[in-house]
Structure 1
């Protein structure tokens, strides 16, 4: 009797898995499509620090080459 229950339970699990697989396979669709609008990327780049470093080096060189400038 327990062998019949195991077979019945195994059959029920397989049937449920099959129904679940068919349901999920029918519902899942994947669309790969380019967007209608262009992709907009906003970049906030701070280049002020780089410019200040370049100016500092130029000023140091200028002062070193011309000590009587001030």
Structure 2
């Protein structure tokens, strides 16, 4: 009986690849981090050389 049940539920299964490519969009903002690091470095330079500024 179990074999008969598994034969009935094991019908036709098909797996097809999509016709269009899968697109993954990654929006990464690196500019903000670079500006922050430059601002921090500039702040440290001003603090270390306060007599120049």
Q: Which protein has the bigger helix share?
A: 1
Q: TM-score, normalised by structure 1?
A: 0.48
- Deviation >3 Å, runs of 4+: none
Query: Where do 1:1-70 residues align within 5 Å?
Result: 12-21=1-10, 23=11, 26-31=12-17, 35=21, 39-45=24-30, 46-47=32-33, 48-63=35-50, 66=51, 69=52
Q: TM-score, normalised by structure 2?
A: 0.57
Alpha-carbon RMSD across the aligned residues, in angstroms, is: 2.8
Which protein shows a greater Rg?
A: 1
- Larger RCO of the pair (alpha carbons < 8 Å, separation 6+): 2
Structure 2 alignment gaps of length 5 or more: none
The alignment covers a number of residue pairs equal to 51
Structure 1 alignment gaps of length 5 or more: 1-11
